[in-house]
Amino acid sequence: MSRNGDERNEMPDPEVVPMAERRRFTAGEKLRILEEAEACTGPGEIGALLRREGIYSSYLSRWRQARDRGQLTALGSQQRGPKAALDAALVREVPRLRRENERLQARLEQAEAIIEVQKKLSQLLGPSREGNESEERR
């Protein structure tokens, strides 16, 4: 009986076994490992690389496919979060550029109209007398 009583009075072990956390690789790490894998030429070198990095061979094939689609390079330099400073500057600049574009379009239309009038006037008047006289002297 005392034995059962001792067991009831014993406290359970408070130590918590840590849960394994999934390892995450950055795009740079994936590219580095892929480069190392492609540099492996001897037998067993890729296996040694996989053991050293603690990854499966299926990771390499998935990462190669992602790299070939351009997904690994696209992820390289992006940072999360809002890019307020850049966006605010662009938002202020867009209306100014639209006004300038409209002003330049109006000037272009005016210049094209002047050129059309000059062409028609030139066709109506024909070649000038001075141009003909200088050609006759030659």
* Sequential pLDDT tens for the chain (138 residues): 445 555 566 777 777 777 777 788 888 889 899 999 999 888 999 999 999 998 899 999 999 998 888 877 665 555 677 666 667 778 888 899 999 999 999 999 999 999 999 999 999 888 765 555 555 555
pLDDT in tens, 35-45: 999 998 889 99
Q: Are residues 69 and 92 in the same domain?
A: no
Give the pLDDT of residue 133. 56
Give the pLDDT of residue 78. 59
C-alpha to C-alpha distance for 110 and 115, rounded to whole angstroms = 9
**Quick one: 30 exposed, middle or buried, by C-beta within 10 A (0-12, 13-18, 19+)?**
buried
Q: Are residues 49 and 67 in the same domain?
A: yes
Q: Indicate the number of domains in the chain.
A: 2
Q: Is residue 101 part of a domain?
A: yes
Distance of CA 88 to the CA centre of its chain: 20
Domain that holds residue 29: 23-75
- Domain stop point among 75, 95, 115: 75
Q: Is residue 13 part of a domain?
A: no
pTM above 0.85, yes or no: no
Residues in the chain: 138
Give the pLDDT of residue 105. 97
C-alpha to C-alpha distance for 68 and 25, rounded to whole angstroms = 17
